[in-house]
Chain A
């Protein structure tokens, strides 16, 4: 502590480098930083002064960053790097940690986006030492990282890896965790910035959050931050979502809660905004005047696998439609936000979700199914009711489709068909905007017999990209028009640079940038949309069976047929 900052007031960024610029370097940039209007209540010395002083010297406050003499908005080569922090990962033994989270941390390091001193603490019910967790991380990285393995990057990450063994209800373990974090602040200079990532089943949330509260880990000293990251499911209906939120919000304020919907971290999904709001080509036709209907699909070719315990009783609609598909709907249907900051974006998404209306008759406006025994992609597979751990009379749906409308001027009368299912013919997620037919065709009926409707398809996964479908003349002497597809593939154009969704989201958590995380209001609005459907289904017995490896139940096809439409073939 040789810094002159370590005086009484820990948060007063006295050291904000308001460089007495002898020559005004960048006129428009040099922020004449006002003597930082931090209203610090005469610094109640909470913890040991050593810690407070240490925090002061690493405080990554907005003012400090704004006053950073080395940063300049015009210097676009410099990436956004998070400030020093600790990521505490609950549930490190889980599948998600091994497949996605740990590799994503490595990939961030490899791209130079991890802060110096970044530390990772694993917490799990395992009798492990730091080395054992490091080994697990190493293996996960080797196996699943997207960027090439480099020894020096691993060394950097390895230095910061810690492990804290214990049960969630063990006070002692959390006391150890709390001590460990204080120690890491000392040895790694992480300045009291902690992100708690709860990669655990929701039933453990209350226990973990309560422990975090008990050990005072949620309270950030001035100049540092504490954040909590939670994953879906955010409840299983409106009531439980509110309860869950009450538990979290009792300890962490809303702005410190980051809800991960990994779809929103995907490049293509973010590109929906670019496509709509950076171009002039699409927006004029993006309304009821030209759009016939919109189909949002998320199809999986796999069954429930080992997730029986989680899936049974939840079903496709809660698992996928309530979060991913309604978020996609919001992005596709919303008005232009005044900016891309979290508030503006969330406001527009909320408006759309509020305007969503269910069909008057849920019997004809929704469809559900349960996969039956069959063949999928050349292999025999069992039906849902025969899966391990599933009760033979389960009424959980594995396929769900719903017809929604958005009651506003832009979309009145345009149906939004949402569907999701397991064990379908292939894995794909897409948003298809299907346009109306040309009002008049100056061709003979025969010439345009096989001409369909124009469509703009945003392919979310796999093979991320955009497809435009339009009519084109078949080469030859006759005038014959048929549908052709034109593809733009990100996979091709921006392959290596596009980061995995979790990389982007983890970085945003550490930076504290919330636009890509759904707000509690959006979660609740989505439940308000889905709850009546779930209630209706719960009262109507067994879902219709559909053959594995196919395109879903007949009732879903009938639902569109009644409107004179058909699903896009998967």
Chain B
């Protein structure tokens, strides 16, 4: 991997350095499918970049990382360019100082790949209305993560207020294996669901979303109750004819599916790494309508 540092620089210098590095490496063609912009603080930068670089193996991307530094300092832009073996794409870390911290969009606009989708990801705190954020406005897909905010439950409930088609939240992405398993269980006749419970550690923002989704799709009340974790531990659905459909997972790895009249079955249900979540997000870039309906249901109160 080659790292290239540019201090007190400009977007056009970064751009020409990128082109020059590409030609030097003998690969002048650009095989990248999207630009991934990350807005992150210095502390969260390392993990987020690592996740994005891994996801880029599936979706070769130009990764632009915006790190806002002290706004009181004189205006200044420092760039760290990484190209090479760790991923098929390119990574540019941009450190912004002074008033420039309020104008990150002016830095990244010239660096976006031409005519390919732009995705913005806020691994930590995100603006209230991501689509109206100066950086968020450049993107067709905006990814947030309620889990990493101070009050995840309040954050996920408030997402509806700022929702614009194209928004998603990783707390929703984390649910895909659960939802997939539950949907598979309903591929066979189950009967009417009367009510349900989702069990999770307190403060798990995914749990109320799952409850909202189930409640809306099944037309039955689904509550969230606390458990000792880790993460989501169970979904229990009471069936009209008596009996229960249950998915329980005590160790965050292997779940057990129980249905009336059928033997218990174990199914792998692992919590996924951030890079996998991100890769799933990048697979489909159209608005996620199911997420939006789940948010609406959540706001209505699923209880």
Contacts and interface: CB of A to CB of B under 8 A. Distances in A.
B230 interface: no
A16 B220 CA distance: 16
A454 to B, nearest CB: 18
Interface string A48-75: 0000011011111000110011111011
A544 B105 CA distance: 68
A486 B29 contact: yes
A453 interface: no
B190 A116 contact: no
A15 B266 contact: no
Interface stretch (B9-17, B35-43, B92-100, B181-189): B181-189
Contacts of B265: 116-117, 159, 188-189
- Report whether over half of chain A's contact residues are helix, strand or loop; otherwise say mixed: loop
B188 A64 contact: yes
Interface residues of A, number: 69
Contact of A152 (B263, B268, B280, B289): B268
Interface stretch (B45-53, B56-64, B130-138, B156-164): B56-64
A79 B182 CA distance: 12
Nearest to B262: A189
B257 interface: yes
Interface string B258-292: 01111101111110000000011001101011100
Nearest to A489: B31
A70 B188 contact: no
Contacts of A486: 29
Interface in A174-215: 186-189, 191
A441 interface: no
Given A77-B176, A78-B183, A112-B180, A150 B188 contact: no
A20 B194 CA distance: 11
B232 interface: no
A127 interface: no
B179 A77 contact: yes
B59 A493 contact: yes
Interface string A1-43: 1111110000001111101111101100000000000000000
Nearest to A24: B219
B242 interface: yes
B243 interface: yes
B20 interface: no
Q: What 3 pairs between A and B have smallest CB-CB spacing?
A: A15-B189, A189-B262, A1-B261
9 contacts: A57-B262, A64-B189, A69-B217, A70-B218, A74-B289, A112-B177, A115-B184, A489-B31, A496-B58
Given A83-B184, A156-B266, A495-B58, 5 more contacts: A70-B183, A71-B186, A116-B184, A155-B268, A189-B265
